[in-house]
Amino acid sequence: MIRLLAISFFSIFIFSSCALKTTEGLRQVHFNEITVENPYFSNAKIDYVYKAKIEVYRKNFGGILIIKKIAADNHRIVFTTEFGSKLFDFQFEGDTFTKHFVVEDMDKKFIVNILKEDFKILVNESAKVLAVYESKNQRIYKTESGDRFNFYFLDETSEQLEKIVNTSKTKEKVTIDYNSADGKIADTISIKHNNIKLKIDLEKFKKQ
Amino acid sequence: MRSYFLLLFFIVFGSAMQAQETAMSTSEIASFKEKVVASAKNTQTIKSDFTQYKHLDFLADDVKTSGKMVFKAPNLVKWEYTNPYKYSVIFKEDQLLINDGGTKSKVDIGNSKLFKKLNQLIVNSVKGNMFSDADFTVSFFKSPKYNKAVFIPKDKKIAGYIASFELLFNKDDAQVYEVKMVEPSQDFTRIIFSNRVLNSTINDSAFSN
């Protein structure tokens, strides 16, 4: 009996470590939606300006993150120091990624790739829905992006986007938490990586 | 008819604005430099408010931040943003002491030549006294309102970050009232000083986070 119990615990451990944590305890439901939308950087009239705090391997640094939709499916992302000097300047146009500028110390393939993947999730406005799940108060949309998946967590009643979890088939890679008063502009955004010690906190500039 | 006049007005006024600024003569440069150096020598402390405008071509509005600056001779500077967020940097010997909304950190700039140069630029531009800097080609302009010094870096590495550096000086007291840093992309940062107080007593304890 004890052995059986041990085996079943062991198998639970094995199976649960293989299955994706994101959808654990959620029930899959039928759906009619074709796409799920991310409204937070979708208004071309707005200059999206955020104070950024970055913690990477216990080192802290800050700056200003500026995102602007310059045309349909076309975003410019600039990160500067508090003093205004540019650290990087990227552009996403459809699937084309352009590196306009990266400061020498940051211009490493490994770093640029992480930033590229993170910001791609951030500015992508619409994704095709593959599956839908439900929890007590959220509706979760599974979408595909390359060989990864993005799960969009929307509040069931307000339909506000609250979280995006980027995963491989078995593991959560990046979690993006949003806080928004009106559902149109994110007041705070927190990007957390699970496999590397990297956390980016963004706070919208207050109106002066 | 009215819009025609308006257009004419802008053409005349516009060209007048451009004509306002002319290059200084050799003797004007000499006396201007002398005045700035003398003013910097007499400046033991500076307290000032500032407003910073970050201009990016693709934005509708410049990104505006503001705060306070404190300087004490020979080389202590506290640069503090208070709006729309709290962030301060103290330039102290070979270190930057940073307080980012409560998160404190230190950066050693001792072994970074570029950082040292940028740091030196900030300290010297606050004082206005950087004409002896061999790393820049300097040119001088005047207008009825201001005197202007434009610094162009000779070093290629610095030129990769800064296309030019402009200081605007008051005509009367030869103090810097505006700093403009132009990037190779032509995007720029403008810092405008206001409410400047010279030579008030400032304790060293003001330079801690």
Model pLDDT for residues B60-113, shown as the tens digit of each residue: 999 999 999 999 988 888 999 999 999 999 988 778 899 999 989 888 776 666
Q: Chain A closest CA to B190's CA: distance in Å? A: 9
Give me the CATH number covering residue B140: 2.50.20.10
pLDDT digits (tens, 9 = 90+) for B122-143: 667 666 667 777 788 999 999 9
Take residue A133 and report the two structure tokens written for it: 């799940």
The shortest C-alpha distance from A74 to chain B (Å) reads 12
- CA B154-A87-A150 angle, to 5 degrees, is 155
Q: Do A208 and B60 touch (CB under 8 A)?
A: no
Choosing among A43, A75, A86, A92, which should be mutated to test the B contact, i.e. which has the most B CBs within 10 A? Answer: A86
Q: Is the pLDDT of residue B40 over 90?
A: no
What residues in A contact B101, CB-CB < 8 Å?
51, 53
Supply the CATH classification number for the domain A21-204. 2.50.20
DSSP H or E stretch at residue A111: helix A109-123
Summarize pLDDT for B159-198 with one digit per residue, the tens.
888 899 899 999 988 888 999 999 999 999 999 999 999 9
CA B191 to chain A, closest CA, distance in angstroms equals: 9
Number of domains in chain B: 1
pLDDT of residue B50: 96
Q: What is the pLDDT at residue B18?
A: 52
* Interface touch B81/A82, C-beta < 8 Å: yes
Which residue did the predictor score with more confidence, B114 or A184? A184
Question: How far does A46 lie from chain B, in Å, by closest CA?
Answer: 8
Cβ of B63 within 8 Å of Cβ of A64? The answer is yes
Nearest to B84 among A70, A100, A208 (CB): A208
- Bridge-based pairing of strands B76-83 and B87-92 is antiparallel
Question: Which DSSP state fits B155?
Answer: S
Q: Mean of the per-residue pLDDT values for chain A?
A: 90
Mean local confidence (pLDDT), A38-67: 93
Tens of pLDDT along A114-169?
A: 999 999 999 999 999 999 999 999 999 999 999 999 999 999 999 999 999 999 99
What's the complex ipTM? 0.85
B contact test, residue of A43, A70, A85, A88 with most B CBs within 10 A: A85
Contact A84 B61 (CB under 8 A): no
pLDDT given at position A137 = 94
Residue B116 falls inside a structural domain: yes
pLDDT of residue A3: 60
Q: Is residue B117 part of a domain?
A: yes
A129: its two tokens: 């829905």
Please report the pLDDT score of residue B15 as a whole number.
47
- Is B107 part of a structural domain of the chain? yes
Q: % helix / strand / coil in chain B, to the nearest 5?
A: 30, 45, 30
Q: B55: domain range?
A: 24-204
Least CB–CB distance from B185: residue in A45, A101, A104: A101
Residue B16's pLDDT band (boundaries 50, 70, 90)? very low
Mean pLDDT for the stretch of residues A72-77 = 96
Q: Which residues fall within 8 angstroms of residue A143, CB to CB, at 6 or more apart? A: A36, A127, A128, A129, A130, A149, A150, A151, A152
B47 falls within a domain: yes
DSSP 3-state of A41: coil
Residues from chain B that touch A101, judged by Cβ atoms under 8 A, are: 185
